Amino acid sequence: MIAVGELEITDAVNREVWENNAAFFEHLIGWIDQGEEASLNRVADDVRGLPILDLGVGAGRTTPLLRLLTRDYIGIDYTVSMIAAARRRHPSERFVLADARDLSAFPDAHFGLVFFSFNGIDAVGHDDRVRILKEARRVLRPGGYFVFNSHNHDGPSFTDRPWNLRPLAPMATRRVIYNAIRRLWELPGSTKNFRRLQRDAFDAGTHGLYPSASHQFGIVVAFVSMKAQIDSLRTAGFDSIAVLRDHDGAAVDANADTSANAWLYYVARVNA
């Protein structure tokens, strides 16, 4: 369950879901969206050939994308089944069972890029997110980057509910129909999960914890506003921060309207 007073999600809520769903992730390939592609392209020239740490690697979707940039690659995940799936998929690569909240196995100022994809940082509560930011900052060398995406508190996904049959973003008619049919088919299970997890959800105004549509509303994720996330990055010691939109990868400024963006990409740099 979620300990609201501590603003934390216990691993029992999210980790178990991913531990039991590695097979689903083994079939994912390529970019999630244009925001992910744009965020990595933005740093590619600066990190090429440098050590790269891939947090929350899952079943290894991001491995070939990052290996285009370096031979010095390590992927970590905190679920045994995901690490096993990544090793099956990419047997020649290095994968380690580890937790993004504790990167003590890695030295200070070592990596040129730390990458955390698929809103992985949102799988833990507020205090643990702060730990991840500090750990990423510690293991990055001067001039290095932390690139990740995070659910947008001000975007449409924060108010998504199982009975919402409309897509959160524009999509082809065929996908709209498929999305509605899938939502209807999953509605009983999704509603049960949503009501179970909603009891301990909260909204602090600039951030909150809420059931996510992923896995039939069976996980709870953090939602953070752009301003609050930028402030957290600066507090953790990052100096130069760019924010990119999810659907087209365009950069946005601190005063931009992000209400149409389910998540945002952050490109945070440690000054040389």
40-95 per-position pLDDT tens digit: 999 999 999 999 999 999 999 999 999 999 999 999 999 999 999 999 999 999 99
Could you tell me if residue 58 is inside a domain?
yes
Would you state the structure tokens that stand for residue 229, as one six-digit string? 């996330």
User: Residue 193 domain-assigned?
Assistant: no
- Answer whether residue 206 is part of any domain: no
Does residue 1 have a pLDDT over 50?
no
Q: Which H or E element spans position 248?
A: none
Residue 108 lies in a domain: yes
For the chain, what is the domain count?
1
Contacts of 107 (CB under 8 A, 6+ apart): 139
Q: Are 156 and 262 in contact (CB under 8 A)?
A: yes
Domain presence at residue 9: yes
Containing structural domain, residue 40 = 2-152+223-269
pLDDT reported for residue 10: 61
- Determine if the pTM surpasses 0.85: yes
Phi, psi of 134 (to 5 degrees): -65, -40
The pLDDT of residue 139 is above 80: yes
Q: Residue 37 falls within a domain, yes or no?
A: yes
Query: How far is it, in rounded angstroms, from Cα 43 to Cα 40?
Result: 5
Let me know if residue 195 belongs to a domain. no
Domain containing 259 — which CATH number?
A: 3.40.50.150
pLDDT of residue 131 exceeding 80: yes
Q: Is residue 157 within 8 Å of 217, Cβ to Cβ?
A: no
